[in-house]
Amino acid sequence: MHVPDGFINAPTSAVTGVVAAGAIAVSLRGARRELDERTAPLAGLVAAFIFAVQMLNFPVAAGTSGHLLGGALAAILVGPCTGILCVSVVLLMQGILFADGGLTALGVNITDMAIVTTVVSYAVFRLLVKVLPRKRRSVTVASFAAALVSVPAAAIAFTSLYAIGGTADVSIGKVATAMVGVHVLIGLGEAAITALTVSAVIAVRPDLVHGARGLQQRLKLRVNGALVDAPAPEGAREAPGGAPAAPLTARTSRRALWVTGLVTSLVLAGFVSYYASSSPDGLEKVAADQGIDQKAEEHANADSPLADYGVKDVDDARLSGGLAGVIGVGTTVVAGSAVFWAVRRRRAQDGASPGATPVENV
């Protein structure tokens, strides 16, 4: 759903740019509450994983494909504010390095793909988690539903922006119908990917999943006929939500999880992406069918060495796309990790300031 230059007029693009900048500023402050020394490294990995999976277009209808947006996945794994930053980093890397998503439309894309998907999905997720049984399976179910809703929500948001600042005279009703129709189907793919990923992380490290915080319970012991909390293992720390965190020996598991996630991202982007669907994605298909691409402009970085997810002057398509994917994952994980390391460091400095009030994790 990357919006190219020329779809939305300059005033609307400028306004969404301001909205995006404001949301990122707020998210940088909010991410200080969401990230700690255990989860900050995971956030950079989440951004890289989203980049990798976005390269895997899957067929959803005749002549149409879709790909992960990632807002729901990021919000549930690392928190909504951090999630907005994760997807924004991905969109920035894609726009600058790979000529995917217009530069003047960057504000539109961040507003639509990062802010709308994250806010809508996390609101749905929290609502469902409150009413469903307090079990890990409920987190997976809520993840599926939240991701499913987030994609048509983004389609509606784009249609609304096009109704305000679209550059072609087309029927907005037809655009809305086409956008929502195809993106409901894409949402099913988004939901499946999100639920499977969240479920996999919860299976090995539930304490690292932001959306699962508070669902863990202390082990109970019966003492003199009464149930009391079992003491935390020596060397363990208290996790958010009052649950005992994993002992210090689990640090190796976090490292193993990070390495596994990075290797998976590299394999997906460097190898599996070659087999992705070549059909236009939902927005591209609707744009061509409904005529909203009449004034689309060539990307300013169309001559980039990595434009269109291929390495320039490398003739072998498999090798070219694979190298581009690996470079993209590497660049995204470095850029994302740098951002979240800086956020985490700022939180630590704030906590060390004289008279500072400790910030409670949410």
Check residue 228 and give its pLDDT: 56
Query: Is 290 within 8 Å of 174 (Cβ atoms)?
Result: yes
At position 334, the amino acid (one-letter code) is V
The answer to whether residue 221 sits within a structural domain is no
Q: CA-CA distance, 292 to 114, in Å (whole number)?
A: 22
The answer to whether residue 362 sits within a structural domain is no
The domain in which residue 35 lies consists of 10-214+265-352
Radius of gyration over every alpha carbon of the chain, rounded to an integer in angstroms: 21
Residue 179: closest CA among 161, 164, 193: 161
Residue 32: closest CA among 76, 74, 79, 77: 79
Check residue 349 and give its pLDDT: 73
Check residue 62 and give its pLDDT: 80
Q: pTM of this prediction? A: 0.88
The answer to whether residue 301 sits within a structural domain is yes
Check residue 129 and give its pLDDT: 95
The answer to whether residue 45 sits within a structural domain is yes
Check residue 236 and give its pLDDT: 43
Query: Is 1 within 8 Å of 158 (Cβ atoms)?
Result: yes
pLDDT tens per residue across all 362 residues of the chain: 899 999 999 999 999 999 999 999 999 999 999 998 888 889 999 999 999 999 999 999 889 999 999 999 999 999 999 999 999 999 999 999 999 999 999 999 999 999 999 999 999 999 999 999 988 899 999 999 999 999 999 999 999 999 999 999 999 999 999 999 999 999 999 999 999 999 999 998 888 999 998 765 544 556 666 655 555 444 444 444 444 444 433 444 888 999 999 999 999 999 999 999 999 999 999 999 999 999 999 999 999 999 999 999 999 999 999 999 999 999 999 999 999 999 988 877 776 544 444 433 33
Q: CA-CA distance, 339 to 40, in Å (whole number)?
A: 10
The answer to whether residue 185 sits within a structural domain is yes
The answer to whether residue 361 sits within a structural domain is no
Whole-Å CA distances, 75 to 22, 123, 211, 252: 18, 10, 8, 25
Looking at residue 288, which CATH number applies to its domain?
1.10.1760.20
Q: CA-CA distance, 116 to 158, in Å (whole number)?
A: 10
The answer to whether residue 107 sits within a structural domain is yes
Total domains present in the chain: 1
- pLDDT tens digits, 285-338: 999 999 999 999 999 999 999 999 999 999 999 999 999 999 999 999 999 999
Q: CA-CA distance, 285 to 279, in Å (whole number)?
A: 9
Residue 233 CB: number of other CB atoms within 10 A? 13
**Which residues have a Cβ under 8 Å from the Cβ of 43 and sit 6 or more positions away?**
31, 35, 78, 82, 85, 86, 336, 337, 340
Check residue 354 and give its pLDDT: 46
The answer to whether residue 14 sits within a structural domain is yes
Check residue 247 and give its pLDDT: 43
DSSP single-letter state for residue 309: G
- 317-343 in b/e burial notation, b at 16+ Cβ within 10 A? eeebbbbbbbbbbbbbbebbbebbeeb
